[in-house]
């Protein structure tokens, strides 16, 4: 539950989406982290199955155009081996702005291949803190068609309906501001090994104290000016 004082998260999301005035994003994210650290602003934080922390600073609903999250990858965190690959597809448009570290966005082409498949397509249905992963029976192969590196102050777009994979190039600490545009509650798609049965993966919700601590650590390490 958010506190009564809500930072202007929508204007930050709009700025990242438009790709203009990007130099203002860091300081404004810093203000949000400061408010989280002091407890003035409360937002949920979860450990994502893909291996990062997600601070949900603005959770979009069906009536809103934008959602905004801060994603944090850092060394030394417990690692849960994923049951599926990191190649996935969103039904909504994604923008990612790099606050710290470097990332590589890989664009993936997925092709149906019944004779010599390497992967199967799975549907991901999220509800509460769980992702239910269900096989579709679609057998495929894939290839990376493009890979671009991005550093601090840069942003990239992943169009809706496009398979991609994010590679973290700075494993010590990488932080991004992720904008979801025209979010939809539809199921997402992910590639995985052939023949997996339907199963669930839990997104661990973090305590408020852990959220405040991480916000403070990010303010110490990030140059958000």
Decide if 57 is inside a domain. yes
Asked if residue 196 is part of any domain, the answer here is yes
Distance CA 48, CA 154 (A): 23
Spatial contact of 16 and 97, defined as CB atoms under 8 Å apart:
yes
According to DSSP, residue 220 is labeled: H
Decide: 43 and 55 in contact? Cβ < 8 Å: yes
The answer to whether 124 and 131 have CB atoms below 8 angstroms apart is yes
CA dist., res. 210 & res. 57, Å (int): 15
4 belongs to a structural domain: no
Length of the chain: 225
pLDDT score of 183: 74
Count of CB atoms within 10 A of residue 87's CB?
A: 20
Residue 162: predicted pLDDT? 96
Residue 1 lies in a domain: no
Does the residue 3 lie in any domain? no
pTM score, whole prediction: 0.92
pLDDT at 192: 97
Q: Which of 10, 2, 4 is nearest to 177 (CA)?
A: 10
Expressed as residue numbers, the domain containing 14 is 9-221
φ, ψ of residue 62 to 5 degrees: the values are -65, -25
Burial of 180 (0-12, 13-18, 19+ CB in 10 A): buried
Residue 2 belongs to a domain: no
d(CA 166, CA 147): 10
CATH of the domain at 189: 2.60.120.10
Helix and strand numbers, DSSP H then E, in the chain: 3, 14
Q: Please report, to the nearest 10 degrees, the dihedral formed by the alpha carbons of residues 66, 107, 82, 182 taken in order.
A: 20
Q: What is the pLDDT of residue 1?
A: 39
Number of domains in the chain: 1
Taking 3-state DSSP, the helix, strand and coil percentages for the chain, each rounded to the nearest 5, stand at: 20, 45, 40
- Parts of the chain with a pLDDT under 50: 1-4
For residue 79, the model assigns a pLDDT of 72
CA–CA dist 141, 119 (Å, integer): 6
Backbone angles phi, psi at 42, to 5 degrees: -110, 135
CA distance 112 to 163: 14
């Amino acid at each position: 539950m958010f506190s009564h004082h809500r930072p202007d998260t929508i204007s930050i999301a709009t700025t990242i989406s438009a790709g203009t005035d990007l130099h203002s994003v860091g300081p404004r994210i810093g203000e949000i982290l400061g408010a989280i650290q002091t407890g003035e602003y409360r937002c949920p934080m979860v450990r994502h199955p893909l291996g990062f922390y997600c601070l949900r600073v603005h959770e979009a609903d069906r009536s809103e155009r934008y959602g905004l999250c801060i994603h944090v990858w850092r060394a030394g965190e417990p690692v849960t081996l994923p049951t599926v690959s990191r190649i996935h597809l969103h039904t909504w448009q994604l923008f990612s702005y790099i606050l710290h570290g470097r990332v590589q966005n890989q664009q993936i082409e997925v092709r149906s291949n019944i004779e010599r498949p390497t992967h199967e397509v799975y549907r991901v249905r999220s509800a509460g803190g769980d992702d239910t992963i269900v096989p579709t029976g679609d057998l495929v192969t894939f290839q990376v068609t493009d890979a671009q590196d991005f550093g601090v102050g840069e942003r990239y777009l992943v169009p809706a309906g496009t398979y991609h994979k994010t590679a973290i190039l700075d494993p010590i600490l990488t932080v991004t501001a992720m904008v979801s545009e025209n979010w939809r509650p539809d199921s997402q798609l992910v590639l995985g090994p052939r023949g997996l049965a339907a199963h669930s993966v839990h997104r661990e919700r973090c305590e408020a104290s852990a959220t405040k601590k991480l916000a403070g650590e990010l303010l110490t390490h990030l140059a958000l000016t």
